[in-house]
Amino acid sequence: MDIPGLPARRAALNLIDAVLRRGETLDQAASSALSRVRGEPDRALARAIAGEVLRWRADLDELIDSATRLPLADDAKARAVLEIMLAQVLRLETPAHAVIATGLPLLAGGPRRLAHGVFSTLTRRGIFLPEVPTLPDAPYERWGGRAEAIAKGLALPPPLDIALRDASQTQNWAEKLGGTSLMPGHVRLGRGTPVTELAGFGEGAWWVQDLAASLPARILGTGEGRRVLDLCAAPGGKTMQLAAAGWNVTALDIAGRRLERLRANLERTNLAAEVVQADALKWDPEARFDAILLDAPCTATGTCRRHPEVLHRIGPRQIDEMAEIQAKLLARAAEWLAPGGVLVYAVCSLEEAEGEAQARALLGLQHEPITQAVLPEGLKPTDEGWLRTDPGMLVGQGGLDGFFIARWRKA
């Protein structure tokens, strides 16, 4: 007999396993894990359950361990099922009877009685989670004194940020969409409404882009017809920003499928750019550029509030691999600048090796400090003139992703 909702819970279990055991992202795991889940609501539910488990896993495990005489192994299936069950009760407000009906069948042939007993014991206690998620040990140690503040930004999934094609229409779009704006060209909306159903999407008046992700292009300013290279450009948010700001844009990326999205975004917004599919470590331009924006490949730990799997799947190996690629891309980008040209480097990472260490190591260009004038209220440059954002900033206004941004000029 089919149990309504069981496929979604089984998919959530598979998503979590893919992250913790195989090191995949939720997006990478989704195709396989969700293949037997029918209907978008149940697919979204599976993603939501997995996301909440990964966001609150340390705290969920502490509850589980408090109700077992002998600790369950970290990779025990019963622990994962209990995490799923507790996340639904504590974060998604799913009734306990529905959680039991769709959770225990996941342990067919396994310790169902144990899981039922632990879940019942905990729910009778009137349990709750802390206001702020407890970070796993590894990122807590890496982020040092920033860790506590970062954790505060992870308690809730982020709102929806959009970037406007025409910044002069900010107030109009904020009113039309029922949102708020933290700076010109930006509108922040609550979660829930499908993006494609919002006013202005079909006519290309805006695109989805986190506020922090919009800052690197803003720091370059207006183009006035000058040539800019958007390195690692797909899926196109920064390309569209630069085109809308009057730059003559060359958008380069190695990924053909992601470039298809970029072209579709340009067509929808009626913005123009030269699109090039190439490996930036092998490609050479025919002429130098007035500006280059390098939003480099990175571990993406700065997106942990929307992709909590990075809390569990990123470690020293991935950080070192990305840092090596970033250094090579920075060196090549510096060669492609025309005299007087500006280079902006950005990563959506919270790791010093991908941010501050890269900025300190780049030689041959003149560091140009980022100024307060180009930033939204509540953010300020570092003492070195770089910009470091993290999910703990602007929490009262919905927060933002973690980024590192630096700027240089060629003599």
**Residue whose token pair is 């299936």:** 77
Show the beta-strand stretches assigned E in 41-176.
Answer: 160-164
Please state the length of the chain. 411
CA angle, 165 then 168 then 172, to 5°: 90
DSSP 3-state assignment of 213? helix
Quick check: 224 and 245 in contact, CB under 8 A? no
C-alpha dihedral (214, 298, 389, 357), degrees to nearest 10: -130
Quick check: 345 and 405 in contact, CB under 8 A? yes
200-206: long-range contacts at Cβ-Cβ below 8 A with a sequence spacing of 24 or more?
200/173, 200/176, 201/268, 202/268, 204/165, 204/268, 204/269, 204/270, 204/271, 205/164, 205/165, 205/166, 205/169, 205/173, 205/269, 206/162, 206/163, 206/164, 206/165, 206/173
Question: Which of 392, 406, 301 is CA-nearest to residue 348?
Answer: 301
Strands 366-367 and 387-389, by their bridges, are unpaired
* Alpha carbons 122 and 280: distance in angstroms, whole number: 53
Q: Which of 232, 298, 304, 348 is catalytic?
A: 348
342's enclosing H/E stretch is: strand 337-347
Q: DSSP per residue over 173-200, as a string?
A: HHHHHT-B-SSTTEEEE-S-S-GGGSTT
Give, to the nearest 10 degrees, the angle between helix 26-33 and helix 6-22.
Answer: 140
Which tokens in the block code for residue 1? 């007999």
* Alpha carbons 1 and 246: distance in angstroms, whole number: 61
59's enclosing H/E stretch is: helix 40-66
Residue 348 annotated to the active site: yes
Could you list the active site residues?
348
